[in-house]
Structure 1
Amino acid sequence: MSTPVLADSVRLTDDGVEILDRRVFPEQRVWVHCGGVEDVAKAIEDMVTQSSGPYFAALWAMVLAAREAAHLEPAAARAHLDAAGERLIATRRTNNHLRKAVAAALSDVDGQAGEELVATVLAGARAGDERYRSRSAALGRHTADLLPDGATVLTHCWADLYLVELVRAAADKNVSYICTETRPYRQGARLTAETLAEMGVDTTLITDGMGAAVLAEGTVDALVTAADRVTMDGHVINKIGTLGLAVAAAAFDVPFHAMVQAPDRLAPTAADVPIEYRDGREIVDRPGIRGHYPAFDITPPRFVTTVVTDRGPFDPRRLAGYYQEVP
């Protein structure tokens, strides 16, 4: 099975970071050049890249920050890197991928300067890239194990490498996929559906308002989405609209499997996760009408069947076991 375009949509170059513009994909394949950390931060804020894209963008942006700081003394260089990391993390705070990317890039930085500093950050970023991809592959395998042969899966928004690896792992199960449009950015219509079709699996696109009706038909075997973050008490934070689908799935006895590499130990409860609100004008920009746009919603654990991690599936109320299984 070939690697889809969106599985490699952020690239480090000699003079910057190139990011495939997901706002116009698949109609156009435009690469946005970012010459520095601030350019990458703006690209993330402006939705040039979404889902796991910001993780990879932040990894390579930290390499740009190291290049910028190569002429500085060690203390000043570290301060520059820390400031760059803080700027990147601030771009999308609901998902904790950015924090992890910055930590990966800086994991072995300890007093280096010059080209040694650049090489150290580059090695950390490469290790972070490899680790994310390998954990996503494990996550895909564990999720595929939960699906029966011939399953029909309903998904929402763009689960990125999680979905790609699920499709690969379930290739011999003849799984078909139904994806929502995912308003207002339509990631499901433009990213999910395009990638599923590119990978050669049976793909159906529905509008966001059809989800409950499709679940009521009795033909869906599982609701499967990514999670931008999962709290230690089992709340699933994901793209707005996930909650409604999860409630409908529970009403019609359809299991909901939420995919995340790991629950977040820094978020004991949903109150510990900041929910991003985007400009309402991204929904409507007409006089006399106010747009309301929370980018994410929170699904309580009672509506979640399984939280699937890179270490296997867990009951959402027993996520502490994730950290107890492996030292």
Structure 2
Amino acid sequence: MTTSSEVFAPVKWEGDALLLLDQTRLPVETIVLTIETAEEVWAAIRHLQVRGAPAIGMAAAYGLYLGIRQLEAADAGAFRELLHQRADYLATARPTAVNLFWALDRVKARIDQEGEKPVDVLKAAVLDEALAIQREDAEVCRTIGENLLTLLNDGMGILTHCNPGALATAAYGTATAPFYLAKERGWNLKVYADETRPVLQGARLTAYELQQAGIDVTLICDNMAAMVMAQGKVQAVIVGTDRVAANGDVANKIGTYGVAVLAKAHGIPFYVAAPLSSIDLETATGAEIPIEERPAEEITHGLGKQVAPDGIQVYNPAFDVTPAAYITAIVTETGIFKPEEIGKAKP
């Protein structure tokens, strides 16, 4: 793996390598990683160098190609066995974002459809499917943004949490898509970005990308959300998601549940931007969604400085689950749905 410094998209296939923007270095440094193996993709996903459910899915699909392109296989059957082994390995990188598994399953399904073609053709099909996943994600995000924009008005204040933005997707972001589209239309939406403890995706990423795009954004600490709502500065909350259960419960970055409770208490609509790839109808409720636990150092050390005593016990879940009862609507590329109707979102 090599690195370079330039302004860059979060995920890009160039030549015969995967290029990833190292999001752990933003906003101070813009570092691009040149990724050449499945193991490097696994590490980039695990260590948050690439993050955000759609971007994780895209990276995993490319990682699958990197993992099989040099492998020798006698025939299509042997190739599929190797492909499944590589997919199983990549699937262990992070447990909560369903897009990771969705992307890997989609590539495997494509190879099943290819039948008994030569191994070189099957390898090319893996890369072709990864490219298609990224291309389609940009279209999906824009459509989600258009659907969300129908729920908003010029001049509104919008609060968001974590980074459901262009840095987490192929383009536009999910929850941030209406901000970019509103700017194109000449609207002025006032965005409030939660800092998003403990690794500050809102401060480092959302605030950074929206500022770079010339969007009116104000950074707040997570524990300021209630006051900002009480002051009448927020008329809607829009967040992304890593997984939506069949009953409309939603897993998203830790802290999202608290924002939803605050929104309900203040009578503010709470919208979830969810591509179909994040909807998991095989998971009945949010209680069944596996919640990743992150290293203690993310809490005990901030920006390289120790901020807690040695030996302190730490609980660090990366996600929480917002019950459907706190969600006003889930917005997908196929429309706007009440949480209990999310099963109708998928054609």
TM-score range, shorter chain: over 0.9
Deviation at 1:71, TM superposition (A): 5.1
Q: Which residue of structure 1 aligns with residue 3 of structure 2?
A: none
Conserved? CA contact 1:180–1:206, under 8 Å = yes
Conserved? CA contact 1:104–1:125, under 8 Å = no
Deviates more, 1:275-284 or 1:69-78: 69-78
Conserved? CA contact 1:69–1:114, under 8 Å = no
Which residue, 60, 73, 76 being the options, matches 2:75?
73
Which residue, 264, 278, 282 being the options, matches 2:280?
264
- Map 1:43-62 onto structure 2 (within 5 A): 43-51=44-52, 52-62=54-64
SS at match of 1:193: helix
Deviation at 1:59, TM superposition (A): 1.7
Deviation at 1:114, TM superposition (A): 3.5
Q: Which residue of structure 2 aligns with residue 111 of structure 1?
A: 116
Does 2:289 match 1:273? yes
Quick one: distance in 2 between partners of 1:270 and 1:203?
A: 31
**TM-score of the pair, normalised by structure 1:** 0.92
SS at match of 1:179: strand
SS at match of 1:11: strand
Per-residue Cα deviation, 1:196-225 (whole angstroms, up to 9, x for no partner): 111111110001111111111112010110
Unaligned runs of 5+ in 1: none
- The AA in structure 1 aligned to 2:182 is A
Does 2:267 match 1:253? yes
Deviation at 1:74, TM superposition (A): 2.3
Q: Which residue of structure 2 aligns with residue 128 of structure 1?
A: 133
Deviates more, 1:77-86 or 1:243-252: 77-86
Q: Which residue of structure 2 aligns with residue 166 of structure 1?
A: 178
Deviation at 1:19, TM superposition (A): 1.3
Figure out how many residues of one structure are paired with residues of the other and give that number.
Answer: 319
Quick one: distance in 1 between partners of 2:332 and 2:16?
A: 36
Q: Which residue of structure 2 aligns with residue 237 of structure 1?
A: 251
- The AA in structure 1 aligned to 2:161 is H
Which residue, 66, 75, 80 being the options, matches 1:64?
66
Does 2:147 match 1:142? yes
Quick one: distance in 2 between partners of 1:44 and 1:54?
A: 6
**TM-score of the pair, normalised by structure 2:** 0.87
Deviation at 1:26, TM superposition (A): 1.8
Q: Which residue of structure 1 aligns with residue 26 of structure 2?
A: 25
Quick one: distance in 2 between partners of 1:106 and 1:55?
A: 13
Residue identity (%):
33
- The AA in structure 1 aligned to 2:82 is H
Superposition CA RMSD, Å? 1.7
Deviation at 1:15, TM superposition (A): 4.5
- The AA in structure 1 aligned to 2:27 is P
Unaligned runs of 5+ in 2: 1-6, 166-172, 302-308
- The AA in structure 2 aligned to 1:63 is Y
Per-residue Cα deviation, 1:54-88 (whole angstroms, up to 9, x for no partner): 12211211221231225553222211211111122
Which residue, 331, 334, 339 being the options, matches 1:311?
334
